[in-house]
Amino acid sequence: MKFVSWLGKILGWFLAHALQGTITVAMSFVALYCLFVFDNIAMKVAGFVGSFAIAYIASYLLGMVRGEHRR
């Protein structure tokens, strides 16, 4: 039973890291995509900054779920 508990903890840790990496990479590509698609400079900057903000918030929240940001 101890092994199953340990395996569940490791699997949850791995999935949280995999999800965080996937979100970060996807939003990085979206940020670059915004620079090439939009014509207006304000839209380019807003899309670029917004994509990185979403990636940062998602990474922070997943870090809290993993227990990295304890108070």
**What span, in angstroms and rounded, lies between the C-alpha atoms of 32 and 29?**
5
3-state SS, residue 58 = helix
Q: How much is the pTM? A: 0.71
Q: 71 in a domain, yes or no? A: no
The CA angle 28-29-35, to the nearest 5 degrees, is: 95
Assess contact for 18 and 56: CB atoms under 8 A.
no
> Residue 46: which pLDDT band, with cuts at 50, 70 and 90?
very high
Domain count, the chain: 1
- Asked whether residue 47 is domain-assigned, the answer is yes
The mean predicted confidence, pLDDT, of the chain is 86
Q: Does residue 41 fall inside a structural domain?
A: yes
Tell me which residue range forms the domain holding 52: 2-66
Q: 29 versus 70: which is more confidently predicted? A: 29
Question: What number is the average pLDDT over the span 25-54?
Answer: 90
Is the predicted pLDDT of residue 62 greater than 90, yes or no? no
Within-domain flag for 43: yes
Scored b (16 or more CB within 10 A) or e, 1-37 reads eeeeeeeeeeeeeeebeeebeebbeebeebbeebeee
